[in-house]
A and B are shown apart, each in its own frame.
Chain A
Amino acid sequence: MTIAVKAPEPEAADATTLARERLERARAICDAEPEASFENVWHALILLEDPPLVRLNRSLIRGRTATVQR
């Protein structure tokens, strides 16, 4: 039986490569800074890939949603 394996979409491949690179950076930072939490560093690295306006809007959207749900 032959199983067809679909090649990843170019965008998905890029996203995977980016995520791998980010993972390596996060690990390297946590190795160099033993007090750091991997999750915090990982999320900060994701946010640092966005422009400041996007970072601010993410923060406000989550902050305001949390208030509405209280």
Chain B
Amino acid sequence: MKRLKSIGNKSIPVVFILLILSLLEYLVDSGIIKAFIFPAPSDIGKALIKYAPSIFPHVLSTLYVSLIGLVLGLVVAFVLAILMENISLVHKAIYPLLIISQNIPIIAIAPLIVLVLGFGVAPKIFCVALACFFPVVINLLEGFKSVDLDLINLIRSMGGRKMYILMTVKIPWAIFNLFSGLKIAATYCIATAVIAEWLGGEKGIGVYIMTAKRSYLYDRMYAVIIITALLGIVLVNLISLLQKLTISWKQETK
């Protein structure tokens, strides 16, 4: 019974997507949507298969940038969150800057970024890390704040100091929040990498999309967009898996 229910739950989004695709196919075939504006899903599917070998190196390049950026963002977020948690001066100074960091449009400062970081992978990794560190640091700080005060007081009463409390209580407690933040970051790290490829470079999903767009080859463009979406889903699921493996003790309390 539970098995059937779970299969049922998983098939609902699939059925829904298939319905939308069939509708789109009909709209394009009948000419209601002009084919040069949006190609038929069947044409996109054909392009996906036909151009997969030429798309692959671009996907690899973007994935590389996304993952390095994600991990870099994670590390920076972790270090920053700990510093902010332990030194209130740092917290007060940095917190507003966090919000500002997310509101600077990349397009505006693109020439500045490439001036400092060049035209290779560095500026793109920087942009991805910039976008990814934010949800992780915010979630970690929330996690630290939410620790049961009784637990902290108990350890303090037994002589435990700041560092010990951090290592044994705060961090394990907040790891769950870290994973929430990481999932959010992972959801849009690939899309951010794609946008960052605007800055420069020959390889990457973003470059492929721009080339296809300027070449009026929309079936290829949407094929790549589908791949991007799928990659995002896979990445988030991988992180959920990682979460299950590392902090299964939290799951037990559910």
Real binding pair: no
Taking beta carbons and an 8 Å cutoff, which residues of B are in contact with A?
none
